[in-house]
Structure 1
Amino acid sequence: MQKESRNSKKGILLVNLGSPKSTAVNDVKEYLDEFLMDERVIDYRWIFRALLVRGIILNTRPAKSAEAYKTVWTDQGSPLIVITEKIQQKLQKLVDVPVEIGMRYAQPSIEAGIQKLDDKGVSEIVLFPLYPQYAMSTTETVIEQAEEIRKKKFPKVKINYIQPFYDRDIYINCLAESIKEKLPENFDALQFSFHGVPERHLYKTDPSKTCKIDDVNCINSKVDTHNAYCYRHQCYKTTESVIAKMGLPKEKTIVSFQSRLGKDKWIEPYTDETLETIPKQGIKNLAIVCPAFVSDCLETLEEISVEGKEQFLHGGGENFHYIPCLNDEDRWIDVVKTLCEEKLNDFYLV
């Protein structure tokens, strides 16, 4: 990137999900309250959401989640926060504009990140939601929160948002190379486990209101206006592109969805059920990756690499190999840099 005086007015904000500030039950409870009370995560009317979250979930889940966080916590703190900070530090060495981070939930907040950039004289921000695929509970809630904060507290600041990059060649190449390097020599199947969402979220985000959750109408859809907001389509598209780049036969891959909450129907197939049943189908040696995440976190380090492994082995599997997220790999930092620079250059066109 060429250095120009006008760059002093620009900056980058990397936004990830967030994490409790510690593994203490009260801190986990505070985090879960903010997270689950988001209307784009649990999309019930406020009164019903409050009854579910504060009346039921927060009376039992925080203690269990706190124990889970303890198994992945590092000396530096939350893995997700630590990794996001490493991405920030590496990116800062490659660009000549300020780089800050913010979390959708808990600290450091999106507001704190914008404030740091504003304090440095930044008036044009490239905000990067670190989610490859679009969902109302990820990309959409980040953008809505950032816009609310901007309008209320930073009205003179302009924000360019990086859109989901699930099918961008630079991302697909990066992910395929990363997986290929970590893939064991002998494996019966490579499983792509994406974070799940309730089926109704797909209907709500579909601008055409014609969404049909089936392989023909969803996975193979060529309608750009629909695909831009269809999480399920984007997950399958990422998988399809990666296995093509790796040269893997489709029959040697599995797609599933994890982390479902409650009794509502979420998009299928479910990761936990799949892990329990595939050994009976002859899959004894499994590699698994979680491409809905760019940074390892509770859902990958505990839910998949610990609980998922137990489910697979209990079902009759023999070898389970978890493939880490992109985290702070240099090739991923190069992708982040390229995507950010594209949006930084967009400011010059306005």
Structure 2
Amino acid sequence: MQSEKKVGVLLANLGTPEAPTAKAVKRFLGEFLHDKRVVDLTRLLWCPILHGIILPIRSPKVAKLYQSIWMEEGSPLMVYSLRQKHKLEQELALPVELGMTYGEPSLANGIRALEARGVERIIVLPLYPQYSATTTAAVFDGLAKAMKSKPVLPELIFIRDYHDHPTYIKALADKVRQSWQQHGQGDVLLCSYHGIPKRYADNGDCYPDHCERTTELLRIELGLTSEQIMMTYQSRFGREEWLQPYTDKTMETLPEKGIRKLDIISPAFSVDCLETLEELQEQNKEIFIEAGGEAFHYVECLNDSDLHIEMMAKLVEFYS
């Protein structure tokens, strides 16, 4: 039954520094790494490490990495997110706003922008296909914080995940096929997902199960054998054990196993960003080629592709 309340959509993502500078990166990383969903260590232990060591050392280094991928219009994550917002708004003929868990536009500002447009029923779509407490739940926490002082709450519908949505899988497969048409098919398609500490999964986070399900559905959609597709985890941080196998370590071993031509995609990212454009496309390519690889083709994220927008529209329409 259709609601008589005006419906709007809040697209939620992680966020990005406002500029590729050490100052902006430090501010962004400080907010991000303060979140207990991301780093659950006691604050008495973590805050001195974060502010005394990590932020002063990492911020300038990460700023240089951002400089290498920065687009004319700004941060790739923000550029593609804005394109998604505009395309989805045109597709649905509904108000659509962005809200980032860290940085701007904040989740609170996204909600305010929708309310200013008369929206009373907000469908929140975190753009994390695979659920994790470190990402999706952090959006939920941010929404709760944003609502805390409101005398009247809007009606909220929260889409938890879409890791096995048919149109999402088709959109991924379409990107892979486009790459194959342009470069030829590699020996293996490697699906590299953002990692989380293994301890989080051991404590019940369903993220690795979702990643495995996405990979299997993509394999079926593309008609690949189990030997033609692999999955790994990237972007680990600190000394704690994270989900394995690690993407960078895998790059070192593939050529000696006879895998010389590699296609790589990162299904957990809805838009291209530092972790895909710099870490995967540059760092891991270098590792693979130095280990004896001959061809490395990065398959871009879904970004603002037509099938991706179609999938978002289907999700919103289902929950409307």
SS of 1:156's partner is coil
**1:32 aligned residue:** 29
Q: How many residues align?
A: 318
**2:184 aligned residue:** 185
TM-superposed deviation, 1:277: 1.2
Q: Output the CA distance in 1 between the equivalents of 2:3 and 2:168.
A: 30
TM-superposed deviation, 1:11: 0.7
- Aligned residue among 253, 256, 267 for 1:277: 253
**Structure 2 spans left out of the alignment, 5+ residues:** none
- Aligned residue among 44, 49, 54 for 2:46: 49
Write the deviation string for residues 170-223 of structure 1: whole angstroms up to 9, x where unpaired: 21122122222222324111110000000111133x2xxxxxxxxxxxxxxxxx
- Aligned residue among 7, 10, 33 for 2:7: 10
Instruction: Calculate percent identity across the aligned residue pairs.
Output: 40
SS of 1:137's partner is coil
**Taking structure 1 as reference, are residues 178 and 42 closer, same or farther at Cα in structure 2, changes over 3 Å only?**
same
Query: What's the Cα RMSD here?
Result: 1.5
Q: Output the CA distance in 2 between the equivalents of 1:306 and 1:38.
A: 28
Q: Output the CA distance in 1 between the equivalents of 2:175 and 2:189.
A: 14
1:286 matched to 2:262? The reply is: yes
Write the deviation string for residues 277-336 of structure 1: whole angstroms up to 9, x where unpaired: 111111111110000101000000000000011010111111110000000001110000
1:308 matched to 2:284? The reply is: yes
**1:101 aligned residue:** 98
| Kept after mapping to 2: 8 A contact 1:161/1:343 | no
**2:120 aligned residue:** 123
1:170 matched to 2:167? The reply is: yes
Q: Output the CA distance in 2 between the equivalents of 1:129 and 1:335.
A: 13
SS of 2:148's partner is helix
SS of 1:190's partner is strand
| Kept after mapping to 1: 8 A contact 2:167/2:307 | no
| Kept after mapping to 2: 8 A contact 1:127/1:159 | yes
**2:232 aligned residue:** 256
1:283 alignment partner AA? I
**Structure 1 spans left out of the alignment, 5+ residues:** 207-228, 345-350
Write the deviation string for residues 40-99 of structure 1: whole angstroms up to 9, x where unpaired: 101111122212211221121001100000011011000000100000000111113211
- Aligned residue among 133, 138, 141 for 1:144: 141
Which is further off, 173-182 or 255-264? 173-182
